Structures are given as structure tokens and as C-alpha cells.
Amino acid sequence: MRAGNRPATAALVCGLLGAALITIPAGLLLAVLGFWRARQGSRGLVRCWLAVALMLAWAGAAGYLVPDLLRAADPGCVAYKNTALTAYDRVADDVRDGRSRAQLARDLAAAITSIGSAAADSRSAATTRSLAALSGDLRAMRADVRAGRDVPRVLLLSLNRETRAADAACGTVRL
């Protein structure tokens, strides 16, 4: 009768718990030990391969998500996502729903202030630049609204582009 392969089982458990990230190196070491035991006549080869596959999948997911999570932790990004983005969305709603110029001007002022504050809070040059560009476009829009002019389509497209850039700088993950 062939002996059991506890390292293979432990490696599989580490692979299943790979979201903790710290279990990945331990799991790989245990998988190597499990492969060694399997070569000497023990069972567990499938468990070892499954463990390695799981750990590689966790490592790949971490490699994809961790940089975005680190960017999202920037204080400017936290402020952008918590308050400034809500203020910006109010402006977008005003434009979409055809609200009065007075309401749009008030909401633009609030969005400019919130986004400017988020840019000032940021520790990332890329985030500061993208939020400053978004704030600049909102200031241009406010000038058009105050002057009674229609907001140029080019400016609206630029606002969309700058919002996507701010989302990217703040680690917004799009799956």
C-alpha cells in the first residue's frame, strides 16, 4: 500500500487559501515536497499540480489587482471616490436632465471645490495631474454656463476623457 502525501494535501490547502497571499510561497514549497514524495511512490501528484495551478492563479490575480488597490488607497483617490465623484455625477445629471443654468453653476462650483480638494490631498503626481485636468475642464464649463453659452461638445468629450483618466489614476478596476 502506498503512503499518504501530507505535503501534497497541505499544498492544496495553501492553494485554496491563496487569497491570503502569504500562503503562496509556503504552498509552493509544500508542492515541491509533495512532488518529491509522489516521485518516491506516494500518492498526491494531482493535488500538487492543482495546488500549483491555484497558487499561480492567485499570484496572477494579485499581480493584476494589487497595483490598483495601492493607487486606490491614495488620500486624493479616496476623496475623489467618496465626495468628488458624487459632485461630478450631479453635474452630469444636471446636463442630462436639462436643469437650470443656476443649478448647474452651483453643482459645478461644488464639483470644482471637491475635485480640487482631492487633488490637493493626493500624494501621487499622476492623480494630482488627472484631477487638476478634470477640475480645469469643469472650470471651463462653468465659464460657459455663467456666460450663457452652450457647452461645446468637445469640452463634454474632454470631461469624459478626464474622468476616465482620473479613474485610471485612482486604480478603478474594470473587469
Give 132-172 pLDDT, tens digit per residue: 999 999 999 999 999 999 999 999 999 999 999 998 888 76
Q: What local confidence, expressed as pLDDT, does residue 23 receive?
A: 85
> Residue 1: which pLDDT band, with cuts at 50, 70 and 90?
very low
Residue 62: what residue type? A
95: pLDDT strictly greater than 70: yes
Q: Is the pLDDT of residue 173 over 70?
A: no
For the cut 70, the answer to whether the pLDDT of residue 3 exceeds it is no
CA distances from 135 to 70, 132, 166 (A): 23, 5, 11
Contacts for 83 with CB less than 8 Å, ≥ 6 apart: 114, 118
Lowest mean pLDDT among 7-11, 16-20, 56-60: 16-20
State the Cα–Cα distance between residues 175 and 137, nearest whole angstrom: 28
3-state secondary structure string across the chain: CCCCCHHHHHHHHHHHCHHHCCHHHHHHHHHHHHHHHHHCCCCCHHHHHHHHHHHHHHHHHHHHHHHHHHHHCCHHHHHHHHHHHHHHHHHHHHHHHCCCHHHHHHHHHHHHHHHHHHHHHCCCHHHHHHHHHHHHHHHHHHHHHHCCCCCCHHHHHHHHHHHHHHHHHCCCCCC
Mean pLDDT for all residues in the chain: 87
Question: Residue 62 and residue 18: Cα distance in Å, rounded?
Answer: 10
> How do residues 39-65 score in pLDDT, each as one tens digit?
888 788 899 999 999 999 988 888 877
